Amino acid sequence: MGLPTFNNWLYTDAQLLGLLRFAFHDVIGLDQEPCFLSSGILNAWICVVYRRYNDVPFHNFKHAFTVAQMMYSIIKLADLAACFNQLDLFVMLFSAVCHDLDHPGFNNNYQVNILTFLACLLFQLVSFAFNQQMNARTTLGLRYNDISVLENHHCAVAFDLLHSPLTNLLARMPTESQRWVRQAAVRWVSK
């Protein structure tokens, strides 16, 4: 698991979920005190994240696992634990896991320029009523003002999952640390 040559295709999704738990345990040191992360909450969060990845050809759970596994490999091989604190390492793994959450399978350009059938009807009505031309875009494009649409969406979904006490990985952190994690994760996912 700690090598870049790891082949995730040899494992079932259930096994990959277990390996993801292992990566967090290993990197964050969940068995060490004090630890800001609860093992039970981590397990619940991983299961919810798994369900929030769509069954699309590329940006699916296997892809997210591959990115997280590569991040884990880099952390281990470069001994980043000697250079970064527990919170930094957490953000690296968290961002890798969440970087494509709820990906619809279409790119940013599609989100900005293409309409669904119902949205098209609505825009035609509005355009006709106000006698003006409107750009075609999806609801995600509208929600994020056509700016890094998918990246903003992945971050929004990731932090929305933390609203439940059952999956709030940040619950034991001081408020300032929670704020820092959010800012850092948004930067990581947006790059």
- pLDDT, tens digit, 9 for 90 and up, residues 96-150: 999 989 888 776 666 666 654 445 555 565 555 554 444 445 676 666 666 677 7
| Contact status, residue 65 vs residue 8, Cβ threshold 8 Å | yes
Number of independent structural domains in the chain? 1
State which residues form the domain around 171: 8-106+139-190
Mean pLDDT of the chain: 85
CATH code: domain of residue 21? 1.10.1300.10
* CA atoms of 45 and 42, how far apart (whole Å): 5
Catalytic positions are 59
Q: Is 99 annotated as a binding residue?
A: yes
Q: Is 153 annotated as a binding residue?
A: no
Q: Is 25 annotated as a binding residue?
A: no
In degrees, rounded to 5, the angle at the alpha carbon of residue 107 between the alpha carbons of residues 105 and 108 is: 135
pLDDT of residue 103: 84
